[in-house]
Structure 1
Amino acid sequence: MSVDPEIEDEYTRVVSVEDVPRGRGIAVDVNGIEIAVFNVEGEFHALSNRCPHQGAPLYKAGEEKINAEHTWTETRGGVNEGDLTVSCPWHLWELDIKSGEHEVSGKCIGTFDVEVTDGDVFVRV
């Protein structure tokens, strides 16, 4: 199957669907823009990869901690599929995965349109 010409013109292929496990994210670079792509119940979302608080890499949300074992969580943030949020791996700021907003502070990060075609994820920057 061929990719829709509109998607080819306006979007950039960033990853294969199978490369992003459900409930996780990966980091990609599109024309110098660092983007986190998340798989939420098979639906893909893309937002800036840096938390608006102190610039933590959001794609690492949910990874197992390698330090700070004395804290209250075994992982560094994570994706909440029910609430459609991602929690920052450093200070657990919870961001809306669709809007990029941190409700408490009102700070917001960029989000990007996503299309999935023939098993590939495309992002429009």
Structure 2
Amino acid sequence: MSTKSPFDDRFTKVAETDEIERGDGIAVDVNGIEVAVFNVNGEFYAISNVCAHQCAPLDKAGEQKINADDTWTDTRGGVNEDACTVSCPWHLWEWDLETGEHEASGKRIGTFDVEVADGDVYVGI
């Protein structure tokens, strides 16, 4: 998916705003980089879609689990809109969507600039 950006050449259209539900995310490929784009209270954030712990896809956070029926929740991970974080669906590592930091370990994953124009979401790489 590529549409000419109203911003500089770094930006690529990745979705329309209504395609990403509030509190959810999608995976996109931007110039060969796997990116997760999340809608947090109507603001959009882009972060590496690969958890630095064991490479889980962060865009799957909050989806219904397909195994481990005896655990304490029906879903794994998810977006915390108050804290502006996403928790990994595999081991619940919590990533700051603004900084890419996992506070407990000090590890960071990539974050990317996001712009919105005319109902379209653009990610800058």
Task: Give the TM-score normalised by the residue count of structure 1.
Answer: 0.94
1:37 aligns with 2:37: yes
Structure 1 residue 69: Cα displacement: 1.2
1:69 aligns with 2:69: yes
Instruction: Tell me the amino acid that sits aligned with residue 9 of structure 2.
Output: D
How far apart, CA to CA, are the structure 2 residues paired with 1:94 and 1:13? 27
1:50 aligns with 2:50: yes
SS at match of 1:27: strand
1:83 aligns with 2:87: no
Structure 1 residue 76: Cα displacement: 1.2
Task: Give the TM-score normalised by the residue count of structure 2.
Answer: 0.94
How far apart, CA to CA, are the structure 2 residues paired with 1:93 and 1:73? 16
How far apart, CA to CA, are the structure 1 residues paired with 2:8 and 2:63? 33
Structure 1 residue 92: Cα displacement: 0.4
Report what 1:110 is aligned to: 110
Structure 1 residue 83: Cα displacement: 0.6
- In structure 1, runs of 5+ residues without a counterpart are none
Could you tell me the percent identity over the aligned residues?
66
Structure having the higher helix fraction is 1
How many pairs are equivalent?
A: 122
Report what 1:95 is aligned to: 95
RMSD: 1.3
Equivalent residues of 1:3, 1:117 under 8 A apart: no
How far apart, CA to CA, are the structure 2 residues paired with 1:70 and 1:107? 30
Equivalent residues of 2:5, 2:13 under 8 A apart: no
How far apart, CA to CA, are the structure 2 residues paired with 1:26 and 1:10? 20
- In structure 2, runs of 5+ residues without a counterpart are none
Structure 1 residue 23: Cα displacement: 0.1
How far apart, CA to CA, are the structure 1 residues paired with 2:96 and 2:76? 17
SS at match of 2:123: strand
Report what 1:122 is aligned to: 122
Structure 1 residue 96: Cα displacement: 0.5
Alignment of structure 1 residues 12-27 onto 2, 5 Å: 12-27=12-27
